[in-house]
């Protein structure tokens, strides 16, 4: 599949992590997703119902980020990929979860996990 929809830098507050203070205090997570799907029909019809509505997708992703806490961002990324694949038109989804305030006792630019799930 050569067509793609990308949503980058989606930020939401969640309470994920292995430490009690992460779950108690929460922190911001930043998510990038890339959907692989056929966009030919949407290009011809110019109708949003013939594609993935990225505003609705963002809402579903934020619900997961702000929802039930998990220990690992690997688990969070997998749950977000499931949201992306809920639309049957999506052949595959790549999800990257960034944890910019990860409890690492050293200066760092980013920590992230990327998963790709396909039908």
Q: Which residues are catalytic?
A: 99
Report helix, strand or coil for 56.
helix
Helix axes 54-66, 73-85, angle to 10 degrees: 150
Contact present, 53 and 46 (Cβ < 8 Å): no
The position carrying tokens 């990038």 is: 32
Please choose, from the candidates 84, 92, 48, 49, the residue with its C-alpha nearest in 3D space to the C-alpha of residue 63. 84
């Amino acid at each position: 599949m050569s067509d793609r929809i990308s949503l980058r830098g989606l930020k939401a507050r969640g309470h994920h992590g292995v430490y009690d203070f992460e779950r108690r205090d929460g922190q911001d997570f930043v998510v990038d997703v890339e959907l692989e799907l056929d966009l030919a029909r949407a290009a011809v019809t110019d109708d949003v119902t013939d594609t993935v509505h990225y505003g609705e997708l963002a809402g579903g992703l934020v619900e997961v980020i702000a929802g039930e806490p998990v220990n690992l961002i690997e688990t969070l990324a997998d749950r977000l990929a499931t949201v992306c694949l809920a639309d049957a038109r999506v052949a595959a989804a790549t999800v990257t979860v960034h944890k910019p305030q990860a409890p690492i006792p050293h200066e760092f630019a980013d920590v992230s996990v990327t998963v790709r799930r396909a039908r």
